[in-house]
Amino acid sequence: MAAVRTSAEVAGNRVAIVAVLIITLIFLAPIYWIVSTSFKPRNLSTTIPPTVVFTPEVSPFVKLFTKRSQLREQPTPEEYEAAPWWERIVFDGGEKVVRDGKGNVQWSAYPNRFMNSLIIAITSTVFAVSMGTITAYGFSRFKVKGEGDLLFFILSTRMLPPVVVAIPMFLMYRTFGLNDTHIGLIILYTAFNLSFSVWLMKGFIDEIPKEYEEAALVDGYTRMEAFFKIVIPEAATGIAATAVFCFITAWNEYAFALIMTNRRAQTAPPFIPSQVGSGLPDWTVIAAGTFLFLLPVAIFTFLLRNHLLRGMSFGAIRK
Amino acid sequence: MTQIELRGVQKWFGAVQVIKDLNLSIEDNEFIVLLGQSGCGKTTTLRAVAGLETIDEGDILIDGKPVQHLKAADRDIAMVFQSFSLYPHMSVYENIAFPLRATRMKKTDIDKAVRDVAQVLRISDLLDRRPSALSGGDMQRVAIGRALVRRPKAMLMDEPIGALDAKLREEMRAEIKRLHVKQGSTTIYVTHDQIEAMSLADRIVIMHEGVLQQVGTPEDVYGHPQNLFVAQFVGSPVMNVAPAAVSDSAGKASVTVEGAGEGFAFPSELLSKLNGSAGKPLSLGIRPEGVIVAHEAAEGFLPAEAHIIEPLGSYDIVDLKFGSQMLRARTRSGFVAKAGDRVFARLDPTQTHFFDTASGQSLGVKL
């Protein structure tokens, strides 16, 4: 059947499309800014008005991954000729790559901080989502004494702004030797995400009819087996959504990471702006670091997009 | 060979007692239907047998062994839910194979069992589909297949066709009957639909407010209801119930419906069979087919006015007014032309039941 639409509907539709486009552009603008800056030559990064058309270069990324110092005297032509292409880029920028006594290139701390971020964010997400799912299942399926109070208590851990607990947390962590450790931040982010994870997962699990598990129980499975074979697959959409939110929260966290870590377990968010302090701020390097930092969340969300979009209850339950 | 027995089963939900001292014995291969309104405790009883609900008192025995402390998984019972409960993330094949995967059965044996059941249920061509792509009837076939595949000791069905539309319900009803005859397994079937109960059951168990009202064959509960609840719950159209008085008029019994001037003539043995209950407040119960309508006055017929005529195709239901009471009669379609017509009617004594109005119990009078 052909859809018959009035001109008013068509016009309304066009207005909606234009509005969506404008909103999309507004949201994409900062991302474009970061991405374009990370490919700009240093002298174009702070022009007013911003430079839109330029020849992209990879110098910010080379600088991001190397330790550099100010060039006091120009390199000799021989030195320049002998240097690999990326070292020449550094020379061109008026800097030189730092080498140790044996002439080995000194790399920047960025890859290490990036790894820290990955380890801490992924581990804490796995903990928060798995613990949250099991807790939510318990609250959803069993009669728990004081269920309302307990759930409120869990939620209340999220009510204080982080800055309020930062100092006591710091002192406690110092006592237990958890400052600047991976495990310390993992515990912190897990605890921080857990309330959110429990509440979100409870909503999803409440939606799964309990007849599914009862059918499995009658069919010869234990409750544990029913949980893993029936509830987990049915809750996949919810688990994916919760995981994305927990991951983003842990990945982007700045305040605690700044206070609790400085070297060994430092994550990327406090590290990236710390480069501002060494010499004159090179915004292209900061932009390059930020751009790479955006990728894992983008990839993670992209991989789970089907789960995030898929309707909740497409199943075979009649109500 | 599976017998199921319930002995003195009691169940509370908080302060509400949902099963009150239930005693029931189910024979091997028997098809038992638990019939009652929603909230009467029939589903709770079924879930208690399945092991999904604990009981507070009493015993549930399967083949003579108490199972009330066993987990559902250890009772070797299969259940079909009203909601079908097919796992949406599994194919039809996997849904049926699921109970077998809990056992140590070999893959080839599982495959054979699944295909055999699919053939019996005529869903062989649906095995690769997802449950969401099936029609309601096929969903229920798959759900039944999942229950049958394990060859359980007993089948429990909780309103398995209640969610289907009328035509499909009729079709599936016949199918369930066919399967039971073919496969033969002890079955407990819960429904609120008395037609379903009548057509499927070997014996019907009628429950009301947690109390067992009557157990009997469909003919039994239809023909000899033990109390007013059963009388009015079973049968469609509903049995007429009216307060009535029985009197002795010159050696013959006369049954007068409340408010009517004249009584219906009944055989004199009614008086002796009532055995002194005649003076108590009685209720008369008669199914519409027991009210015989005629155009002409005749011996034993009382005049009445037709109030409402409901044409139902193969027959009509005519509301006749006697005194302050309305009795519904079943007539040939078009027998009474229009509302307001005067007709004559009598009651068939063999189809008349008498109940003690206070207790609601049948007085057991058979004429």
My answer on whether B228 and B306 are in the same domain is no
Return the residue of B nearest to A225 by Cα.
B102
My answer on whether A86 and A126 are in the same domain is no
Residue pair B91/B128 in contact (Cβ under 8 Å)? The answer is yes
My answer on whether A124 and A229 are in the same domain is yes
- Global pTM value: 0.78
Q: Is residue A44 part of a domain?
A: no
Q: Which position has the higher pLDDT, A228 or A67?
A: A228
Amino acid A2: pLDDT: 54
My answer on whether B129 and B16 are in the same domain is yes
Amino acid B279: pLDDT: 67
Mean pLDDT of A71-85: 81
Q: Is residue B365 part of a domain?
A: no
Amino acid A310: pLDDT: 58
My answer on whether A289 and A263 are in the same domain is yes
A interface with B, Cβ–Cβ < 8 A, is 209, 211-212, 214-222, 225, 230, 233-234, 236, 314-319
The per-residue pLDDT for range B48-72, each reduced to its tens digit, is 999 999 999 999 999 999 999 999 9
Among A214, A220, A319, the residue with its CB nearest the CB of B52 is: A214
Contacts A314 to B, Cβ<8 Å: 88, 132
3-state SS track over chain A: CCCCCCHHHHHHHHHHHHHHHHHHHHHHHHHHHHHHHCCCCHHHCCCCCCCCCCCCCCHHHHHHHECEEECCCCCCHHHHHHCCHHHHHHHHCCEEECECCCCCECECCHHHHHHHHHHHHHHHHHHHHHHHHHHHHHHHHCCCCCHHHHHHHHHHCCCCCHHHHHHHHHHHHHHHCCCCCHHHHHHHHHHHHHHHHHHHHHHHHHHCCHHHHHHHHHCCCCHHHHHHHHHHHHCHHHHHHHHHHHHHHHHHCCHHHHHHCCCCCCCHHHHHHHHHHCCCCCHHHHHHHHHHHHHHHHHHHHHCHHHHHCCCCCCECCC
* CATH number of the domain residue B28 falls in: 3.40.50.300
Please identify, among B215, B233, B251, the residue that sits at the C-terminal boundary of a domain: B233
Whether residue A103 is predicted with pLDDT greater than 70 in this model: the reply is yes
To the nearest whole Å, the CA of A231 is away from the closest chain B CA by 10
CB contact under 8 A, A318 and B136: yes
Q: How many domains in chain B?
A: 2
Q: Is residue A203 part of a domain?
A: yes
Q: Is residue B367 part of a domain?
A: no
Q: How many domains in chain A?
A: 3
My answer on whether A93 and A117 are in the same domain is no
d(CA A254, CA A269): 6
Amino acid A273: pLDDT: 83
My answer on whether A115 and A88 are in the same domain is no
My answer on whether B258 and B323 are in the same domain is yes
My answer on whether A147 and A24 are in the same domain is no
Q: Is residue B362 part of a domain?
A: no
The per-residue pLDDT for range A235-272, each reduced to its tens digit, is 988 899 899 999 999 999 998 999 888 888 899 999 98
pLDDT under 70: residue ranges of chain B: 1, 276-279
Q: In which domain, by residue range, is A85 found?
A: 67-97
Q: Is residue B181 part of a domain?
A: yes
Contacts B85 to A, Cβ<8 Å: 209, 211-212, 214-215, 316-317
To the nearest whole Å, the CA of B163 is away from the closest chain A CA by 7
Of all residues in chain A, the percent with pLDDT exceeding 90 is: 45
To the nearest whole Å, the CA of A312 is away from the closest chain B CA by 11
To the nearest whole Å, the CA of A142 is away from the closest chain B CA by 13
Stretch 203-222 of chain B: residues touching chain A, C-beta under 8 Å:
none
Q: Is residue B252 part of a domain?
A: yes
My answer on whether A93 and A119 are in the same domain is no
The per-residue pLDDT for range A79-90, each reduced to its tens digit, is 788 888 888 888
Q: Is residue B363 part of a domain?
A: no
My answer on whether B222 and B350 are in the same domain is no
Contacts A237 to B, Cβ<8 Å: none
Q: Is residue A105 part of a domain?
A: no
Q: Is residue B31 part of a domain?
A: yes
My answer on whether B224 and B271 are in the same domain is no
Amino acid A15: pLDDT: 93
Interface test with A, best of B62, B87, B94, B140 (most A CBs within 10 A): B87
Residue pair A220/B73 in contact (Cβ under 8 Å)? The answer is yes
Amino acid A173: pLDDT: 93
My answer on whether B291 and B319 are in the same domain is yes
The per-residue pLDDT for range A274-319, each reduced to its tens digit, is 876 556 778 888 899 999 999 999 998 888 887 776 544 444 344 3
Amino acid A3: pLDDT: 62
My answer on whether B13 and B31 are in the same domain is yes
Q: Which position has the higher pLDDT, A55 or A26?
A: A26
My answer on whether A152 and A200 are in the same domain is yes
Among A215, A221, A315, the residue with its CB nearest the CB of B79 is: A215
Q: In which domain, by residue range, is B42 found?
A: 4-233
To the nearest whole Å, the CA of B79 is away from the closest chain A CA by 7
Interface test with B, best of A218, A229, A310 (most B CBs within 10 A): A218
Please identify, among B202, B233, B264, the residue that sits at the C-terminal boundary of a domain: B233
My answer on whether A242 and A166 are in the same domain is yes
Interface test with B, best of A217, A219, A227 (most B CBs within 10 A): A219
Contacts B165 to A, Cβ<8 Å: none
> What count of residues does chain A have?
319
My answer on whether B286 and B205 are in the same domain is no
My answer on whether A91 and A188 are in the same domain is no
My answer on whether B197 and B252 are in the same domain is no
Amino acid A314: pLDDT: 41
3-state SS track over chain B: CCCEEEEEEEEEECCEEEEEEEEEEECCCCEEEEECCCCCCHHHHHHHHHCCCCCCEEEEEECCEECCCCCHHHCCEEEECCCCCECCCCCHHHHHHHHHHCCCCCHHHHHHHHHHHHHHCCCHHHCCCCHHHCCHHHHHHHHHHHHHCCCCCEEEEECCCCCCCHHHHHHHHHHHHHHHHHHCCEEEEEECCHHHHHHHCCEEEEEECCEEEEEECHHHHHHCCCEHHHHHHCCCCCCEEEEEEEEEECCEEEEEECCCCCCEEECCHHHHHHCCHHHCCEEEEECHHHEEEECCCCCCCEEEEEEEEEECCCEEEEEEEECCEEEEEEEECCCCCCCCCEEEEEECHHHEEEEECCCCEECCCCC
My answer on whether A216 and A284 are in the same domain is yes
Contacts B102 to A, Cβ<8 Å: 219-221, 225
Among B81, B99, B131, the residue with its CB nearest the CB of A220 is: B99
Q: Is residue A150 part of a domain?
A: yes
My answer on whether A20 and A115 are in the same domain is no
* CATH number of the domain residue A133 falls in: 1.10.3720.10
Stretch 54-113 of chain B: residues touching chain A, C-beta under 8 Å:
71-73, 75-79, 81-89, 98-99, 102-103
Q: Which position has the higher pLDDT, A3 or A123?
A: A123
Please identify, among B207, B233, B259, the residue that sits at the C-terminal boundary of a domain: B233
B131 close contact with A: CB closer than 8 A: yes
**Complex ipTM tops 0.90:** no
Whether residue A1 is predicted with pLDDT greater than 50 in this model: the reply is no
* CATH number of the domain residue B352 falls in: 2.40.50.140
Q: Is residue B297 part of a domain?
A: yes
CB contact under 8 A, A212 and B87: yes
CB contact under 8 A, B103 and A217: no
My answer on whether B186 and B208 are in the same domain is yes
My answer on whether B203 and B127 are in the same domain is yes
My answer on whether B245 and B220 are in the same domain is no
CB contact under 8 A, B85 and A218: no
